[in-house]
Copies of this chain bind each other. A is one copy, B any other.
Amino acid sequence: MRLLTQLLAPKAIAHAHCDLPCGVYDPAQARIEAESVKAIIEKYNANEDPAFRTRAIAIKEERSDLVKHHLWVLWTDYFKPPHFEKYPQLNQLFNEATKLAGAGGTKGSTDVAVANSLLAKIDEIAKVFWETKQA
């Protein structure tokens, strides 16, 4: 189904992200990493082997970093002044979302509830993102 929407998606809903800029942005990049972080936390809590847990924590650190990076790119590169005027909550949304992927969030915690909060925050951002795309 995902594949279909991908193939059928009108160019207007293209995804962009590089800093040429190529103009392709997609909150899915941050969400995929955040889903990975959540899965890692679930596997961490289900496995007491020290070696496995060490790997889980190290990988969770990297994946959380990727979540922060993809969100920062959207905040700085995709969103423009008019967006911030229309969505005054955007700055706080991004600051809270990136904090939720940091030391006070999924990096420092092994509580799946924290990963869920991060995912929810990313979905709030994605909702605004796709609204601006439809506009």
Contacts and interface: CB of A to CB of B under 8 A. Distances in A.
A32 B26 contact: yes
Contacts of A43: 20, 22
B2 A5 contact: yes
A20 B55 contact: yes
A123 B98 CA distance: 24
A57 B19 CA distance: 12
Given A28-B32, A123-B7, A55 B61 contact: yes
Contacts of A9: 1-2
A19 B59 contact: yes
B91 A95 contact: yes
Contacts of A117: none
B107 A19 contact: yes
A103 interface: yes
A103 B2 contact: no
17 contacts: A1-B13, A3-B127, A3-B130, A14-B39, A16-B35, A20-B55, A20-B59, A24-B36, A24-B39, A28-B32, A29-B32, A51-B53, A55-B61, A58-B58, A72-B72, A72-B76, A76-B95
3 interchain residue pairs of minimum CB distance = A22-B39, A91-B91, A76-B98
